[in-house]
Structure 1
């Protein structure tokens, strides 16, 4: 069965690997990124988000089988809040009506094991409100205070919480839409290449992000998990944040979640 799936952040990294995998299995993929894909859109802006939704509706005729809200930044900038959280929500919520027209709708967001690190609670609360101006303002305050390192993890913590809070609601599970997230550890992507420019830098990173099972991963590793989550076989996973991190979650949290 040919399925039509939107993948944001499809020009590189996990998004590109996912788009390629889905195409190989016979799906029709609509890629979204700043450039180099089917739809060029800046998901940090309201205009870009609206344009993406409108173009997907035009290209699909109003029915969509899957959404992979993967676009993201790992920079210590307010734009990271704009794309990682509000861009992801605009993708998921904006395309949800199209998913509801499918017989087997699936949606996946890309969170991160960075959600396990210390976050800024005020920023997380502003995102969940949802109050984008307040969240962007708080990100600016964190930059000015020299604590911008909490921005990325905060966006991913908020996104994971949003998934958990919404997956079982009438709009999602009630409409037959399986909504879940993946939480990668360190993967070799353009986003992380500067962090691992030398063997010493990579070793230092793995001290912060322990990955006892096979170390640093590849985008294809995550793509295969997303491939299952968007497949017709995934009939009952609901609201799960699946850590694909070489064991970081286990090392950091142990059995505390139980």
Structure 2
């Protein structure tokens, strides 16, 4: 299916790995000009016309700088994918420091808020665009081990709906994709969430991940998600084919939430 993304300029944050990398690669394959932003080097997935911007989105000054770079190089922004995020396994609410709470909100909420604030005026000047925010099922299914991350992802839902309410009449749609457990480097890197969960439950990494999707958060599909599962939905929602979709939440969670 042609998503009608040829020559569209799309900014993807957290593009160095996982869902962001898969999204950047798929959008590039669909003909988009992708600007991949990450604090780590963005080495793959952007094609010959794409641009990699290495930047820390927890710095309040960074989003305006990123958008200025995009305008200088490409002249416009058609879509923004707010994907940057991350979490650490926690053992108790009592063990989370104030600094950790603030850092979690900076990365998982304020980065998206600031990027949206920087991008919306540019989209208004060009007649519209699409905002897509990558949330988490943790926002509605918080656990002891992720409560600061869950709390930071919840206001992203309100932000998206508020943006859609104000700016959809002016041509800017805003939607949220809500992944469930997804097998990214966040789980697999040494010391990452897989190892943290294994330490929390006194087991090995693979057993911890299996327990997560069969006991802690049972998935109807019977498997942990893959980055491409999410990227395909993101690509559709930023494309012109979804022009009637705004203020929506799309679950890509293997049936974990099972909402009515």
The answer to whether the superposition gives a TM-score over 0.5 is: yes
Tell me what 1:116 maps to. 140
Shift of 1:182: 0.4
Q: For 1:1-150, list aligned pairs within 5 A.
A: 1-37=6-42, 38-61=52-75, 63-75=76-88, 77=100, 78-102=102-126, 105-118=129-142, 149-150=146-147
- Residues matched between the structures, number: 222
> Which residues of structure 1 form unaligned runs of 5+?
120-146
Cα distance in 1 for residues equivalent to 2:103 and 2:145: 12
Give the counterpart of 2:152 among 145, 152, 155. Answer: 155
What is the TM-score when the length of structure 1 is the normalising length?
Answer: 0.80
Q: Which moved more, 1:155-164 or 1:191-200?
A: 191-200
Tell me what 1:212 maps to. 220
Q: Which moved more, 1:100-109 or 1:218-227?
A: 100-109
Cα distance in 2 for residues equivalent to 1:10 and 1:28: 14
Tell me what 1:190 maps to. 185
Shift of 1:60: 2.4
Give the counterpart of 1:242 among 247, 250, 255. Answer: 250
> Which residues of structure 2 form unaligned runs of 5+?
1-5, 43-51, 91-99, 196-204
| Partner deviation per Cα, 1:187-240 (whole Å, 9 max, x = no partner) | 110112244463321222122222111420100110000000011111111111
Q: Which moved more, 1:19-28 or 1:188-197?
A: 188-197
> Are the counterparts in 2 of residues 69 and 109 from structure 1 also a CA contact under 8 Å?
yes
Cα distance change of structure 1 residues 226 and 102 upon mapping to structure 2, 3 Å threshold: farther
Cα distance change of structure 1 residues 113 and 160 upon mapping to structure 2, 3 Å threshold: same
